[in-house]
Chains A and B, each alone.
Chain A
Amino acid sequence: MRIFDSSQSKCSHGECSSACSGPGPHRLGSTRRSFLRKGAAAIGGMAALVGALSPLRELDESDLGSVEKFIQKHYKEMDGEEMRQALERISREVEKRYDLRPDIRDVRPMDGVEFVYALNLSRCIGCRKCVYACVEENSQSREPEIQYIRVVEMPRGTLDIEKGNHHYDRPTVPDSEHYYMPIQCHQCAKPPCVKVCPVGATWQEPDGITVIDYDWCIGCRYCEAACPYWARRFNFAEPKIPKEDINPRMSYLSNRPRHKGVMEKCHFCLHRTRVGELPACLEVCPTGARKFGNVLDPRSEVSEILKTKRVFVLKEEAGTLPRFFYYFDERHPRSDGDREAAAPGREATA
């Protein structure tokens, strides 16, 4: 039982076994036969290889990329001219694909600004208007569907999101037995997603927003595994968006069209908020449950909420220091007098 022992190769030419023997020259016929056989095997092998590679014919033109795209630097390493070229290239691609000339810019963070979101759970009615406003504003893929915001229907009496229902489908909301908790990127101050990225394709900006360079991401999805809030989304296929639904107002780090194979996520609508507007999810909210602003400005609404409301963050134990706060309305806001009345013991000891 010797599969490849020496007796198989009697001649010095290795592959012809019993036809010729000894190290001398081959007989002519044998050489030709062996040549033909080898040739047939080689051709068969090549044909099989070509067959295996055949699906590549269907590669889209945009998949093949260009030298321009290949040598494009990381966002942080581009100078003004290189950024201008990159934006020009993206404009051309968008125009070709969606028949519209986008207004695309690289909107930078403002000095002395750190954005914070606050969400009033007493007011949220679970209508999911924010989810769809976000999809439209950020030209998210309709097929396969990508949404940055997930609204969870929670039973009263618990804050454990594992008890929530992600797929509630009621004729009318809100349901009186439940409350609603929208979850999106929490823009953590200690973001685990940034830490794990092997190529530095995602980072935290000075105004606290964690962004992604869609032209740098290699699509390993390590950040998706690292996020405790399930805030990141991956383009498993080339996004499909009807031409008329593309938002022409774009910026490099936020809502410009993404390709398949890269991550994306909520960026607090930075192309709007960095020029003084509000996020799309906030603007559409019918109940005013959503509040957004600069926490470094003591007179801002969010600063006021953080000071006066009893706010909490989701999964505080994850230690990521989110910039997204939840709170409930207090039916009877407590003045200092109330607090003393509520704690008579303290008065007695004083």
Chain B
Amino acid sequence: MRDYAVFLWRCFRLSFVGDWRYGAWMLTLTAIALLGLNAYCRQLVFGLATTGMTDQVSWGLYIANFTFLVGMAAAAVMLVIPVYIYRNKELHDLVIFGELAAVSFIIMCLLFVTVDLGRPDRMHHLFLRFNFPLSMLTWDVIVLNGYLLLNLHICGYLIYCAYRKREPRKALFVVPFVLIAIVWAVSIHTVTAFLYVGLGARPFWNSAIIAPRFLASAFAAGPAFIVLALQVIRRFTDYDVPSKALMTLRQIILVALTINVFLLMSEVFTEFYADTAHSASTHYLFFGIGENRALVPWIWTSLGMTAAALLILYLPLARSLRYLNIACVLIIIGVWIEKGMGLIVPAFIPTPIGEIVEYRPTINEILVCLGIWAAGILLFTISVRITIPVLSGRLTIDHPYATEPDTETESNGSPRATALAFERSTS
């Protein structure tokens, strides 16, 4: 127990250590997070009137970001499936980064839901009177928190074992949880989709294709984020990230994005060919209704980005890592628009009784969103910052601070040994 406290304290200390670029990055993120906190305090005082939401469009950026991030969190598992089901060797050492990303994303999800609440002071009512299983929101509370705990356990256990230089008892404490996490990752996404799909009042959401599309777009955007994160890790640390692993991820992204585009086309065809009265929201999204066309530039930007990314990925070009990076950025932004603004907001326009009121987020609302993003990325940076020296054997119970490679741990410091150390800790 005492050892564990010391471990946490060392991790805390370590998160402050780095060169000026690391310091500047962390300082910037902290500053943005504090600005967000400030904006949220203003929202607490003056109510949700500080946002652009209205009775007509009662969910906005917060729920849009929440929806997108659930997908990002679920996608971490796309690293796990190749490793544990298809025995892919390249990705093996990188699984932990997927899990770390999942933890950060889920925490961001929970923050986004919390800031959307009118009465966060009454959160404990969830424990006192839980409308389960009728309300899909209660399902979401269970699956999101469960997924958070699962991933915290897997990462925490592996890292702590490496720190204690203990052999992790994989069969008992890792593999079963990883297998549960795979199913669970699909569930968090499906349940979140059902949150919307189950509402008969909103024809835009009331479509069976939403859940599969959620999964497809998440399995493109999530690994795209992981690719970018791995590129950063590769560039700025000595942790070994094989190019082959990135190419495997590229393939996953390619397949998922293709399926996503196919499902999107199916949906667009259904809406526009039949052209029933229920297509009003889709019309609004793609072409606007009369003078009201706030979302039109957004959705076409998103479609353009997705198309460009798909093109890059299908060309041999993307075997060059730089083009892969570009494609990943395009996918993340494209999916963020499509699944955030493009999925949540149009469902409210027009209202069920035909009124058209557009949604424009306020500065305060945007600041809160940026703050949560900064806090989440801060968390992810710290977790990666701690994980790398631990897994490469430079921070262990005997070596309180990351030691130099030229001491007795030299063999542990080299990239090869890093991989070996991780191999030890995970297999």
Q: Is A226 interfacial (CB 8 A cutoff)?
A: yes
What 1/0 mask marks residues of chain B from 258 to 285 whose CB sits below 8 Å from any chain A CB?
0000000000000000000100100000
Contact between B401 and A14, CB atoms less than 8 A apart: yes
In contact, B200 and A318 (Cβ under 8 angstroms): yes
Instruction: List A contacts of B135 (CB < 8 A).
Output: 195-198, 222
Is B34 within 8 A of A8, CB to CB?
no
| Given known A8-B18, A56-B44, contact A221–B404 (CB-CB < 8 A) | no
In the complex, whether B243 has a CB less than 8 A from a CB of chain A is no
What residues on B are CB-neighbors of A166 within 8 Å?
A: 353-355
Contacts of B81 in A (CB 8 A): none
| Residue A294, interface by CB 8 Å | no
How far does the alpha carbon of A220 sit from the alpha carbon of B405 in the complex, in Å? 53
B213 within 8 A of A: no
Instruction: Tell me which of A24-32, A80-88, A227-235, A303-311 binds B.
Output: A227-235
Quick one: CB contact mask for A180-193 with B, threshold 8 Å, 1 for yes? 00010000000010
**Known contacts A56-B45, A65-B121: does B138 contact A227 (CB below 8 Å)?**
no
Contacts A8-B18, A198-B138, A227-B352; A220 near B116 (Cβ below 8 A): yes
Given known pairs A55-B38, A162-B354, the reply for A196 and B199 (CB within 8 Å) is: yes
Q: Chain A's interface: helix, strand, loop or mixed, by majority? A: loop
Docked pose: A164 CA to B350 CA in angstroms? 12
Q: Nearest chain-A residue to B389 (Cβ)?
A: A6
Chain A contacts for B231, CB-based, 8 A: none
**What's the least CB distance linking B24 to chain A, in Å?**
10
A15 and B130 within 8 A (CB)? no
- Within 8 Å of chain A (Cβ to Cβ): is B400? yes
User: CB distance B42 to A55 under 8 Å?
Assistant: yes
Q: Shortest distance in angstroms between B402's beta carbon and chain A's nearest beta carbon?
A: 5
Interface size on B, residues (CB 8 A): 81
| Contacting residue for A234 out of B13, B16, B17, B58, CB 8 A | B58
Q: Which listed segment binds B: A45-53, A104-112, A127-135, A273-281?
A: A45-53
Q: Which of chain B's residues 215-249 have a Cβ closer than 8 Å to chain A?
A: 235-238
In-complex Cβ contact of A192 among B55, B199, B353, B394 (8 A): B199
Q: A52-B35, A318-B200 are in contact. Are A225 and B59 (CB under 8 A)?
A: yes
Contact A74 B47 (CB under 8 A): no
A219 and B119 in contact, given A55-B42, A56-B41, A225-B199 (Cβ under 8 angstroms): yes
Residue A13 at the chain B interface, CB threshold 8 Å = yes
Complex partner residue of A235 from B30, B45, B118, B122, CB under 8 angstroms: B118
The answer, yes or no, to whether A250 is at the interface (CB within 8 Å) is no
| Chain A, Cβ-Cβ closest to B132 | A198
Return chain A residues, CB-CB under 8 Å to B353: 150, 152, 161, 164, 166, 183, 229-230
Specify which chain A residues have a CB less than 8 angstroms from the CB of B394 in the assembled complex.
Answer: 6
Q: How far is the CA of A59 from the CA of B46 in the complex (A)?
A: 8
Q: Chain A contacts of B199 at CB under 8 A?
A: 192, 196, 225-226
Asked if A236 and B48 make an inter-chain contact with CB atoms under 8 angstroms apart, the answer reads yes
Complex interface: chain B residues within 8 A of A58 (CB)? 45
Given A52-B38, A218-B126 in contact, is the A1-B236 Cβ separation under 8 Å?
A: yes
**Which residues of chain B come closer than 8 Å to A161, judged between CB atoms?**
353-354
Interface contact B354-A152, CB-CB below 8 Å: yes
Q: Tell me whether B6 is interfacial, beta carbon within 8 Å.
A: no
Say whether A236 contacts B47, CB under 8 Å: yes
Q: Do A15 and B16 have beta carbons less than 8 Å apart?
A: yes
B168 contacts the other chain (Cβ, under 8 Å)? no
Say yes or no for B351: interface residue by CB 8 A criterion: yes
Whether a CB of chain A sits under 8 angstroms from the CB of B141 is: yes
CB–CB B404/A10 < 8 A = yes
B255 on interface, CB distance cutoff 8 Å: no
- A residues near B122, Cβ cutoff 8 Å: 199, 216-219
- In the complex, what residue of chain A is closest to B400 when comparing beta carbons? A12
A152 and B18 alpha carbons, distance in the complex (Å)? 63
CA distance A60 to B402 in the complex (A): 49
A160 at the B interface (CB under 8 A)? yes
A262 to B117, CA, bound (A): 9
Q: Which residues does chain A contribute within 8 Å of B198, judged by CB atoms?
A: 196
Residue of A with least CB distance to B395: A6
Give A residues with C-beta under 8 Å from B: 1-10, 12-15, 45, 48-49, 51-56, 58-60, 63, 65, 74, 144, 146, 150, 152, 160-164, 166, 183, 192, 195-201, 216-222, 224-230, 232-238, 260-262, 315, 318-320
| Chain A to chain B contacts (Cβ below 8 Å), 25 pairs | A2-B236, A3-B19, A4-B17, A4-B22, A6-B389, A12-B400, A14-B13, A14-B17, A52-B35, A53-B37, A54-B41, A60-B45, A162-B280, A166-B353, A195-B134, A196-B136, A199-B128, A201-B125, A218-B125, A220-B113, A220-B118, A224-B58, A227-B201, A230-B355, A236-B51
Query: 15 new A-B pairs (CB below 8 Å) besides A9-B17, A48-B34, A201-B129?
Result: A3-B236, A4-B237, A7-B405, A10-B404, A48-B31, A53-B41, A56-B41, A59-B45, A162-B280, A163-B354, A226-B199, A228-B352, A234-B118, A236-B49, A260-B118
